[in-house]
Amino acid sequence: MAKRGRKEKDNWKKKRRQEYLEKKEFRYYIFCEGQATEPKYFEGFKRYIEDNPIYRDMVLIEIEGCQAETMRVIGKAEEYVRKNKIAKGQIWCVYDKDSFPASDVNGVVQRAEVLNQKNPDVQYYAAWSNECIEFWFMLHFAYYTANNHRSEYKKFLNEKLTKFLIIFS
């Protein structure tokens, strides 16, 4: 009797996984500017959903660290959707505003609007944060509305956190 070929066995696995994924009602694909910090942040949400028996079989969350900025994030998202033949879902492009020009930051929103006209089942969204994560940490200590550079945030946090032996460099 002839052995099954490795390729045939792999195709069976891919087909079964595809059938399983198609049963997921809600699909979210998150493309992050960073390759480490942001994906870890969203992995926490994913883990929380996957651990919940109510949502586990309803929600699919895929997270991709892009190591790219603004317009390149949405470009990588488009490439992923095309390459993986994504037919349904929400595509989230997450990036920091940093000091990129407004045309780049807003360009993602404009590109998403164009893509959303093409296929109502695959919708793109842009989500951006302020200059840095330190700002979010700072908001735990004080209401802060000034538009300062990252060095000012670090100075503020170092004053608050030195009693815990935590220092931002």
Largest CA distance in the chain: 75
Mean pLDDT of 111-119: 96
Q: Is the pTM of this model over 0.85?
A: no
Tell me what pLDDT residue 11 has: 58
The amino acid present at 2, given as its one-letter code, is A
pLDDT band at 14 (very low <50, low <70, confident <90, very high): low
Tell me what pLDDT residue 166 has: 61
Tell me what pLDDT residue 45 has: 85
Give CA separation, 90 vs 63, 125, 130, in Å. 12, 7, 23
In terms of Cα–Cα distance, which of 88, 89, 66, 84 is closest to 76? 66
In terms of Cα–Cα distance, which of 63, 122, 119, 117 is closest to 94? 63
Mean pLDDT of 38-66: 89
Predicted confidence (pLDDT) at residue 17 exceeds the cutoff of 90 = no
Predicted confidence (pLDDT) at residue 57 exceeds the cutoff of 70 = yes
pLDDT band at 140 (very low <50, low <70, confident <90, very high): confident
pLDDT band at 4 (very low <50, low <70, confident <90, very high): low
Tell me what pLDDT residue 168 has: 59
Tell me what pLDDT residue 137 has: 72
Mean pLDDT of 64-85: 93
